[in-house]
Amino acid sequence: MPDGKPIYVLNGPNLNLLGTREPEIYGRATLADIEKACAERAQQLGRAIVFRQSNVEGELVNWLQEARDKAAAVILNAGAYTHTSVALHDAIKAIGVPVIETHLSNPAAREEFRHVSLVGQAARGVIAGFGATSYLLAIEAAALLAQQQGQ
């Protein structure tokens, strides 16, 4: 039986296309593959996950607000919203739950417009550039943060 509140793993626009979308950048793992790996790693750490994806910015904001009461920590791959969404930035600041920004690729090594992260400015930390392993590293960090907070 998992301990405490779950870890929310929230995924933004176009991540539903993983496995076929620019595999040279994002790899061949599908979002379902990543969800399965995250659930397995979380279970090893005595945690459960809530794993979701939306192409809609407002839905991500709603899930962040839901996490305020229901999650021990949040892993957020906001996709392109990372660089544009003041709404996600403000939601992260408002919820009081640690948020870990996560990316498959390393945005700092890509196009210049990807170098600024509004999400990262509000997040507790950032894990990027390790492909699907970025999510597993984020699960470990989220479980540690939850434990430190007694969640």
Identify the pLDDT of residue 1. Answer: 46
Identify the pLDDT of residue 17. Answer: 86
Q: Which residue did the predictor score with more confidence, 22 or 9?
A: 9
* Per-residue pLDDT tens over the stretch 87-130: 999 999 999 999 999 998 877 766 676 677 899 999 999 999 99
Q: CB burial class (10 A; 0-12, 13-18, 19+) of residue 69? A: exposed
Please give the mean pLDDT across all residues of the chain. 90
Identify the pLDDT of residue 100. Answer: 98
pLDDT classification of 35: cutoffs 50, 70, 90: very high
- H/E element, 101: strand 99-103
The verdict on whether 103 is a catalytic residue reads yes
Identify the pLDDT of residue 28. Answer: 73
Identify the pLDDT of residue 4. Answer: 87
- Which one is catalytic: 8, 81, 89, 103? 103
What is the reported pTM? Answer: 0.92
104: left (phi over 0), alpha (psi -120 to 50) or beta: alpha
Three-class secondary structure of residue 11 per DSSP: strand
Per DSSP, 20 falls in state T
Which domains, from first to last, does the chain contain?
A: 7-148 (3.40.50.9100)
| 79 vs 39: CA distance, rounded Å | 21
Specify whether the CB–CB gap between 109 and 115 falls below 8 A. no
The verdict on whether 135 is a catalytic residue reads no
